[in-house]
Amino acid sequence: MADNIDDEHLDNTTNNQSENLSDEINPIKISDPINPKQETEMEVHKHPHHVTHKKKWPEYLLEFFMLFLAVFLGFVAENIREGVVESNREKEYIKSFYEDLIADENDLQTIINNLNKEAQTGDSLAMLMNHVSTETPANYIYMYLLRITRSSLTNLYVNDRTIIQLRNAGGMRLIHNKGVSDSIVAYYKEIETIQFLYDESITMKRGLREKYSTIMNANDFEKVQVNTTQIINPIETVYLRTADADAINDCLVRVLNIKGLGGGLSRRIQQLKDKATRIKVFIKKEYSLE
C-alpha cells in the first residue's frame, strides 16, 4: 500500500515536472497567419492615391469625338488649301489662254491676208497659162508659180503654249467653268481640222513644184529666184521651155486646186478668228480679267 502511494506520488511529480519543462521550452505562442485579403486591404488603404479610376462609356465617346473632330478639321483645312492653290492655277491658265487668243487674232489675220494674195496669184496664173506659147513672155508665169508654191507665204501658226501645258499637266480638270473648258476644247479641235487642210495644201504645192520644172528653163528659173526667199522680175524676158498642152493643163489643174483649198482655209481661219474673239470676251466676263 505504501509502495503504491509512493509510485503514484512519483508519477505525479514526474508529470508535473514534465509539464513545467514543456512550458519552459515553448514559452512563445504562435499567432494565427495573416489573411492575404486583409493584407491587400491594408495596402489599398495605405496608398489611396494609386487607385485606378475605371472610365465610363461617355468618357470614351468624348475622346473618340475629339479625335474625330481633329482629323476632320485637318482634312477640311487641307482641302481648303488645295482648293485655293487649284483656283490660283486655274486663273493662271485662263490668263495664259486669254493672251494666246489675243496673239492668235493678229496671227490669224496675217494668214488670211496671205491666203487672199495666194488666191489672187492663182487667178492671174489661170489667165496667163490659158493662152501661152514658147514665144510668149513668161516672166509673170515664172514668178507666180514660184510664189504660189511657197509654203512660208501661208505658214500656219497658232499659239498653243497653254493647251500643251494643260494636256501635259492634266490641267483641264482645273477649269471648273464648263462653258470655258468646252470653248477651249472646241477651239483647238477646229485648229486640228485647219491643220489637216493646211498639210493637204502643202502636199499640193510640192506636187506643183515637181510638175512646173518640166515647162521651165533652168537658166531663166535662176534669174527669177535670186535666193530661197526672194523672187524678182528679171530685166530680160524669159520664156517657157515647152507649152505642151498636157503639161500646161496639169500645172493649171494643180494651181486651181491650191487656190480652191486656200479659199476654204481662208474661210475656216476667219471663223476661227471670230471664235477667238467671242471666247476672249466670254473669258474676260467669267473670270473678271482686266
pLDDT, one tens digit per residue, over 193-226 is 999 999 999 999 999 999 999 999 999 998 998 7
Supply 263's cell numbers: 479659199
Given this model, what pLDDT does residue 46 score?
Answer: 47
Q: Which residue has the cell 504660189?
A: 148
Residue 86 CA from chain centroid, whole number: 12
Band (91; pLDDT cuts 50, 70, 90): confident
Bridge-partner residues for 216, per DSSP? 240
**Beta strand ranges found along the chain (DSSP E):** none
pLDDT at residue number 126: 93
Q: Is residue 66 part of a domain?
A: no
Higher pLDDT, 181 or 23: 181
Q: What is the DSSP letter of 32?
A: P
pTM of the predicted structure, to 2 decimals: 0.69
Q: What percentage of the chain has pLDDT greater than the value 70?
A: 74
Residue 50 in this model has a pLDDT that exceeds 60: no
Instruction: Answer whether residue 80 is part of any domain.
Output: no
Whether the per-residue pLDDT at 42 is higher than 50: the answer is: no
Cα–Cα distance, 228 to 11 (Å, whole number):
158
124 assigned to some structural domain: yes
DSSP state, 235?
S
Residue 203 inside a domain? The answer is yes
Q: Is residue 31 part of a domain?
A: no
Percent of the chain with pLDDT over 90: 47
According to the model, what pLDDT value does residue 167 have? 78
And the C-alpha cell for 194?
485647219
Is the predicted pLDDT of residue 276 greater than 70, yes or no?
Answer: yes
Does residue 8 carry a pLDDT above 50?
no
Confidence bin at 84 (pLDDT 50/70/90): low
The Cα 263–Cα 118 span in angstroms is: 9
The chain-wide mean pLDDT, for the chain, equals: 79
Helix (H, G, I), strand (E, B) or coil at 46: helix
Interval 148-176 mean pLDDT:
79
64 in a structural domain: no
Number of domains the chain contains: 1
> Which position has the grid cell 474676260?
284
Report the distance separating Cα 132 and Cα 125, nearest Å: 11
- CA nearest to 212, candidates 270, 105, 279, 128: 128
Sign of the CA dihedral 11, 12, 15, 17? negative
Closest CA relative to residue 138, chosen from 153, 119, 125: 125
* Cell digits of residue 9: 506520488
Range of the structural domain that residue 202 is part of: 85-286
Residue 215 near residue 247, CB atoms below 8 Å: yes
Q: What is the pLDDT of residue 100?
A: 92
Distance CA 281, CA 273 (A): 13
In this structure, are residues 126 and 75 in contact, taking their beta carbons and an 8 Å threshold? Answer: no
Tell whether 249 is covered by a domain: yes
Distance CA 269, CA 285 (A): 24
Q: What is the mean pLDDT of residues 57-86?
A: 70
Residue 55 located in a structural domain? no
